[in-house]
Amino acid sequence: MWGKVRDWMEKMSPAQAISSYYLLAVTVSILLFSIPAVRKPGVELSFIDTVFTAVSVVSDT
């Protein structure tokens, strides 16, 4: 399996690699921010707020 991933990654252009990493980082951030344990008790965030926060975190760092 890892051989196929490695082959796929070697065929990507630098722009595709950067875009793929960005999308992966945002997706992982959204999943982590969606975990109830990372929020203050009693504070609810909409999905769009979670996405905005994840994109901001990835874009600023």
pLDDT of residue 61: 58
User: Is 16 a member of any domain?
Assistant: no
User: Is 47 a member of any domain?
Assistant: yes
User: Is 17 a member of any domain?
Assistant: no
Task: Give 10-residue mean pLDDT values along the chain (61 residues).
Answer: 77 88 94 88 89 91 58
Burial of 54 (0-12, 13-18, 19+ CB in 10 A): buried
pTM more than 0.75: yes
pLDDT of residue 43: 84
User: Is 18 a member of any domain?
Assistant: no
In this structure, the dihedral spanned by the alpha carbons of residues 51, 52, 57 and 61, taken in order and rounded to 10 degrees, is 120
pLDDT of residue 48: 95
